[in-house]
Amino acid sequence: MADFRIRRAASQDFPAIRRLIRQARINPMALDWHRFVVAVDDGNRLLGCGQLKPHGGGITELASIAVLPDYRQRGIARALIEDLIATAPRPLYLTCRSSLKSFYEKWQFRALELPDMPPYYRKLVRAMSMVGKLFMRDERLLVMALK
């Protein structure tokens, strides 16, 4: 039996969501607790989070998947992703480091080539290809989609 449960985020979760996103060093922009689901323990302590982030043109992104370091490898990220995917429109997009490609392929996400990406992601990939060389070393930014 899991030692956590998944629920919709509440306003009081927002400070812990923001801390976790910053700790995980993922995009802290445009965080809105209304879009998040969270994994919590029996004491209602936030262990992980994720969101469905809307973009213009009807694009939805699986985003902000993060789990506290001491609680990784316990199925929390998987449970968050499955909960979010269950209610997400298709196609559903995500961005990730290239080393995470096989992780997201478990849910049938497929890496997109630049011409197949919506304009928002093409711009992001182009920008990151220049800046990312400074920060991502042997990694590159992937855009993946679930159809």
Matching CATH number, 1-89, of 3.40.190.10, 3.40.50.9100, 3.40.50.1950, 3.40.630.30: 3.40.630.30
68 — pLDDT class (breaks 50, 70, 90): very high
Cis peptide before 91 (omega within 30 of 0): yes
Position 139 scores a pLDDT of 85
Position 138 scores a pLDDT of 78
Spatial neighbors of 69 by CB under 8 A, at least 6 apart, are none
Q: Which of 109, 108, 47 is nearest to 79 (CA)?
A: 47
Residues 108-144 have pLDDT tens digits of 999 999 999 999 999 999 988 876 555 656 788 999 9
Q: How do the domains of the chain map onto residue ranges?
A: 1-89, 94-147
**CA atoms within 13 Å, Cβ hemisphere of 36:** 27
Pairing status of strand 46-55 against strand 59-67: antiparallel
Position 134 scores a pLDDT of 54
Position 32 scores a pLDDT of 96
Q: How many CB atoms lie within 10 A of CB 142?
A: 19
Position 87 scores a pLDDT of 95
Mean pLDDT within 43-59: 96
CA 57/CA 93 separation, integer angstroms: 13
Mean pLDDT within 17-45: 95
Position 96 scores a pLDDT of 94
Q: SS3 for 108?
A: coil
